[in-house]
Structure 1
Amino acid sequence: MTQSLRTALVFGGYAAKTVVYCLLGLLVIGTAIGSFRQDTPSQKSVFIKLVEQPFGQVILGIVIIGMGCYVLWRLTQAFFNTDDLGTSAKDIVMRIFYVVSAIIYGFGTYLAIKVFTGARSEGGGQSNSEQMSSTLMQETWGLWAIGLVGGLIIAFSFIQFKHAVKADFMDKFDLHKMSAKARSAANKVGRFGFFARGIIYIMVGSFFVHAALTANPQQAGGLQEALGTIMQQSYGQFALMFVGAGLFTFGLFCALESRYHKT
């Protein structure tokens, strides 16, 4: 893969994540303070909100291309070892997570394409997580698979918390090209953003584990269910604002990644 192609994939992917996370953060904050009359935000609602804006179809199309670039970049990292990872258990797990990340964002790209082609309603019935759990439970190994998915998501949440504490995500930046202010900004928004993502992922992983333990697919949940659960707690409005602010700042972190990420 040429250097120019790698740079294009990185820039397009992280630029798309900037749009998605910033808009998601604003929708979550808006829901918390009651300024938006809508259900708890989901990934699909972000795409619906985008397409409703002036030139929204064009904007969403660009986001879809960017998300596709990010999926390709993650797969490139996993299968072409662009980060020069070794054969240690830690490095192998990291490459597996690149594949998992590609799958997650591939599903998000699929949702965006559905909205782009006209599926604008949030709809009712089972959530995507519940549908997946219901399908898996029809297999003899389904409960184990659901539990494994939940365990992997929880493990991924701890990686997010580790990033928030250690700020080791700074290793991904070409620090020589960054000013002192840019490095400081990346450190701050990265810590806050990864912490917020850790909260979401540990809740989603717990939903899947609970679904496996109870053999009840309705216990599975994704982003929308996690945000709804937060809102139902004591001081849930403030907690939801905190998470929304964290998701927004993660979008800002992605903007810095699109500009300064090592390729």
Structure 2
Amino acid sequence: MKNSTKKIAKFGFFAKGSIYLISGTLTLLAALNMGGSKSGKFKVLDFLEKQPLGNVILIVLALGLISYATWRFIQCFKDPEQEGSDTKAKIKRAGFGVSGLIYLVLAGIAIKKVVSSSGGSSNTQNYIDMFGTTVVAIVFIAIGIALAVKAVFHLKKAYHKKFMDEYSIANLKYHTLAKNAGYFGYYARAVVEGIIAFFFLKAGLYSRQNEIKGTEDAFSFLQNSSYGSILLGLVAAGLASYGIFVLLLSKYKRFDN
């Protein structure tokens, strides 16, 4: 694998890890009533925009997210890590492509915040309504199923600790930190993805409400449940831990060739 490709991947992991670390930290502070706010990926962009040199930070982050999307597309179409071409591998590589699209959109929103004086988010409801209730319901059900499968995948990955296969860190001092952060982080991601999958499936099957639900809605769902603040704090800490895991991956990622 070319060194330039490895650098693109590592820069992308750094950007992704930063997003998760900030999201988890802000939400954990909110759960502890220490400021902060329930923050998904898009809310993190709003937070960064308000910081000193916010536009500079957003530009760097956007470049990192574009790098991550590029790495995902390379994994999808060129298979640099030799996942193979059987059914399981094709599904996994298709998932890489979807992930690339999501982070490319996130990068585009970050860039839009820099170039647009309004800094506001677009009204996704208007775009959804024009497709009609039936089409939106089908799409929501498909998204819900995909997220549910992803949640199960992350549960299995955490349980079997397969995520450590991504590292060349076995004999380094950060090995234990990476293992614990990944273990906690993948379980937290599975919880959030499972809740969002429930939202999409419910909207598609029953309510017919054309609403996009995301991480912030999952946080609110946790907060409004029994022992809400504790559950919210645990999941938020888990997402922050996942951010640490990915940041370490940006330095110690193992490439097979």
Q: Is TM (by shorter chain) over 0.5?
A: yes
CA distance 1:16–1:165, shift in 2 (3 Å) = same
How many residues get paired?
Answer: 254
How big is the shift at 1:161? 0.9
Partner of 2:183: 191
CA distance 1:58–1:262, shift in 2 (3 Å) = same
How big is the shift at 1:141? 4.0
Are 2:27 and 2:36, in contact at CA under 8 Å, matched by a contact in 1?
Answer: no
Are 1:12 and 1:70, in contact at CA under 8 Å, matched by a contact in 2?
Answer: yes
TM-score, reference length from structure 2: 0.90
Asked whether 1:241 is paired with 2:233, we answer: yes
How big is the shift at 1:219? 5.5
Aligned mate of 1:262, from 237, 254, 257: 254
Are 1:74 and 1:101, in contact at CA under 8 Å, matched by a contact in 2?
Answer: yes
1:46 alignment partner AA = V
Are 1:44 and 1:122, in contact at CA under 8 Å, matched by a contact in 2?
Answer: no
1:222-262 CA distances to partner (integer Å, 9 max, x unpaired)? 11111111111111111111111111111110111101112
Aligned mate of 2:52, from 54, 71, 74: 54
Residue 165 of structure 1: SS of its match in structure 2?
Answer: helix
1:87-129 CA distances to partner (integer Å, 9 max, x unpaired)? 2221111101101111221222222223223443469xx6x5x
Aligned mate of 2:137, from 140, 143, 147: 143
RMSD: 2.1
CA distance 1:132–1:254, shift in 2 (3 Å) = farther
Are 1:207 and 1:219, in contact at CA under 8 Å, matched by a contact in 2?
Answer: no
Partner of 1:14: 13
CA distance 1:69–1:33, shift in 2 (3 Å) = same
Partner of 1:63: 61
2:126 & 2:20 partners in 1: Cα distance?
Answer: 24
1:165-189 CA distances to partner (integer Å, 9 max, x unpaired)? 11101111224xx534322221110
List alignment gaps of at least 5 residues for structure 2: none
How big is the shift at 1:208? 0.8
Aligned ranges for residues 171-182 of structure 1 at < 5 Å? 171-175=165-169, 178-182=170-174
1:160 alignment partner AA = H
Aligned ranges for residues 73-222 of structure 1 at < 5 Å? 73-117=71-115, 118-121=117-120, 128=124, 134-136=129-131, 138=132, 140-175=134-169, 178-218=170-210, 220-222=212-214
**Percent identity at matched positions?**
25
List alignment gaps of at least 5 residues for structure 1: none
1:87 alignment partner AA = S
Are 1:67 and 1:105, in contact at CA under 8 Å, matched by a contact in 2?
Answer: yes
Are 2:28 and 2:36, in contact at CA under 8 Å, matched by a contact in 1?
Answer: no
1:208-227 CA distances to partner (integer Å, 9 max, x unpaired)? 11111025235641111111
1:8 alignment partner AA = K
Are 1:211 and 1:220, in contact at CA under 8 Å, matched by a contact in 2?
Answer: no
Are 1:150 and 1:206, in contact at CA under 8 Å, matched by a contact in 2?
Answer: yes
Are 1:14 and 1:257, in contact at CA under 8 Å, matched by a contact in 2?
Answer: yes
Residue 242 of structure 1: SS of its match in structure 2?
Answer: helix
